[in-house]
Amino acid sequence: MAPLRVHLADDHTMFREGLEAILASREDIEVVGTSTTSEEASALVGETKPDLVITQLDMQLKTVEEILQHASKRLNQYAVLVLPERNRCQPAP
C-alpha cells in the first residue's frame, strides 16, 4: 500500500518541523510538502497532490478557506484536518 501523502500548512516553525519529523519517521506516511503562508499552501497543495492537509485555524483564515475550496474542486481527492486555534485551547478543569 502506498504511504499517506501529507502536506503541513502551519506558520509556527517549531510545531511544523516537529510534526514533520514525527510523521517522516513513519514508513506509512510521506510528508510531500510544508508551507508557512496561505499563498504557499494554495500553490503547493495543487502541486504536491497530498491525501491529507494538516493546517491550523489561527494560521490564516484565508488558508483554511482556500484549502477547503481546492479540496471541493478536486471532488474530495484529499482530506483536510484543521487544528484549533492555539490561544483558545484551554486546559481541562
**pLDDT, tens digit, 9 for 90 and up, residues 17-74:** 999 999 999 999 999 999 888 778 777 887 888 888 888 766 555 556 666 666 556 5
Query: Do β-strands 4-9 and 52-56 pair in parallel, antiparallel, or remain unpaired?
Result: parallel
For the chain, the structural domain boundaries read: 4-85
Give the CATH fold of the 4-85 domain: Rossmann fold (3.40.50)
Band (75; pLDDT cuts 50, 70, 90)? very low
CB 30 within 8 A of CB 77: no
Q: Is the pLDDT of residue 77 over 70?
A: no
Q: Is the pLDDT of residue 11 over 90?
A: no
What pLDDT score does 26 carry? 95
